[in-house]
Structure formats: C-alpha cells, structure tokens
Amino acid sequence: MRCIVKGEVPEAFAQWKARNSAKSDWSSFSKPQSQSYVIYQKLRHSLISEQKHQCCYCEVVLKKEGDAHVEHLKDQGHHPDERFNFSNLLASCQYRDSCGHKKGNGFFKEMVSPLDENCQARFTYTARGKIIPLDEGDSFVQKTIDLLGLNCKRLIDRRLSIIRNLAPVEREYLLQALDNCVEWGWGFYTVIEYMIAKRKQSF
Ligand SMILES: [Zn+2]
C-alpha cells in the first residue's frame, strides 16, 4: 500500500459541492445520466492523477478513467458526513474480489489507510507474492489485508510475476522499473520497492 498525498480539492467539485451537496446523494451525483456526471468524472480524474495512476489499495494501473471508481475510505453507510469530503475520497480499481468493491461498508477505525503517512512501512511481501504485515503481530494490518482482499489469487499471481521478472535483473533496471511502473503497465510500485530493498540486503 503506497502512501497517497492529497492535493487541493478540484475547483469544479468544490463549486458543485457549495451549491448542491446538502441536497444530493452520492448515487444521483455519480450517475452517468445526471447533470453532475461531468463533475464526478473530473473528480475521478483528479484522484487518479494524485495517486499516480494506481489503485489506492492494490496498486494495479488505472489505465483509463473507467478502470476506477470513486471510493469512500470511510463508507457512506456509517459516515454520511464524509460523503462529499474530498479527504475521504480515493480512486479504487473496479475488480470485485478486492479493494473498494470488496470492502463495501467494512471500514473500521484501525484500518490501515493509504492516507496514513507510515502505511507502506507496515506491509511487506513474501517471495511468493503475498502481502503480509511487516510485524506479524500487527493484527490491524492483517485485518486490512483480509477486508480489501489483497491476497486474492489474481493479485498474488500479478505480484509473483513481477517478482520473478525482476529477480535476475541488474539493479539499474530495477530502478528504471520503479520509475516507469505505470508507463510499462506494471503498477505495484511498492512490490518493486520491496525488490530493491531485498537486493540491498543481499550485498
Ligand atoms: Zn485495487
């Protein structure tokens, strides 16, 4: 899980919010047939950019806008006041077996969030592509992994293939892969960082 630094509230969203948020619900705001859909699209675009085109939880590449939906970190069911709060909004992938769609209303107070500055340091990977808590007694990390489906077979397989591809390469290539992980269509920035850290340890 890569840390996300939130930027400014997009202007169009701020303006729409000032006029409409009190009387709007999320589904009418984000419906493709609604007048506000263009605002929703701009919002999603800003979120994808601030996340450097990777899913907020699993880090798959968000190639085109439709690869993502706007995700409420604190779910709307239990946190209606957070519905239009930009600092609660993220861009999540559309897979059903992980991330925002899998999480649904399952947010819990101690959940590790990509908005926590130290989130990345609480996870690591295995050589088989699983994501695990760095400290194995950190039950909130494990609960977060389970809630978000971060060890579904699809994600383990993707990570494993990156780990295998990068295992024999020169360090220089690893650094290039890190810089270009989105352009190359790989994503999984923190998996590549893990490979770089492992390489350092072996010297
Ligand atoms: Zn995802």
pLDDT digits (tens, 9 = 90+) for 39-59: 999 999 999 999 999 999 999
State in Å: Cα 67 to ligand 1 middle: 10
Confidence at residue 21, expressed as pLDDT on a 0 to 100 scale: 74
Output the CA 34–ligand 1 centroid distance in Å.
26
Per-residue pLDDT for 100 more than 90?
yes
| 23 Cα to the center of ligand 1, angstroms | 31
Q: What is the average per-residue pLDDT within 181-196?
A: 97
Phi-psi category of residue 89: left, alpha or beta, with phi > 0 → left and psi -120 to 50 → alpha = beta
199 — pLDDT class (breaks 50, 70, 90): confident
Burial class (CB in 10 A: 0-12, 13-18, 19+), 108: exposed
**What is the percent of the chain with per-residue pLDDT over 70, rounded to a whole number?**
99
Is 202 a residue whose pLDDT tops 80? no
Between the CA of residue 95 and those of 55, 60, 148, what are the distances in Å? 10, 10, 11
Instruction: Indicate the average pLDDT of the chain.
Output: 95
How many A from CA of 41 to the centre of ligand 1? 19
pLDDT band at 203 (very low <50, low <70, confident <90, very high): low
Q: Is the C-alpha dihedral spanning 20, 23, 26, 30 positive or negative? A: negative
Predicted local confidence at residue 153, as pLDDT:
98
Helix, coil or strand: residue 82 = helix
Centre of ligand 1 from the C-alpha of residue 18, in Å:
30
Domain ranges of the chain: 11-201
Q: Would you state the pLDDT for residue 23?
A: 80
Distance between Cα 62 and ligand 1 center (Å): 9
Q: Taking residues 95-107, report their average pLDDT.
A: 97
pLDDT at 124: 97
Q: Residue 111 in contact with residue 143, Cβ under 8 Å? A: yes
Q: pLDDT digits over 63-97, tens only? A: 999 999 999 999 999 999 999 999 999 999 999 99
Give the Cα separation of 41 and 68 in Å (integer). Answer: 10
Strand ranges, E, within 111-186? 123-125, 131-133
pLDDT band at 22 (very low <50, low <70, confident <90, very high): confident
| Residue that wins the pLDDT comparison between 134 and 23 | 134
CA of 158 to the centre of ligand 1 (A): 12
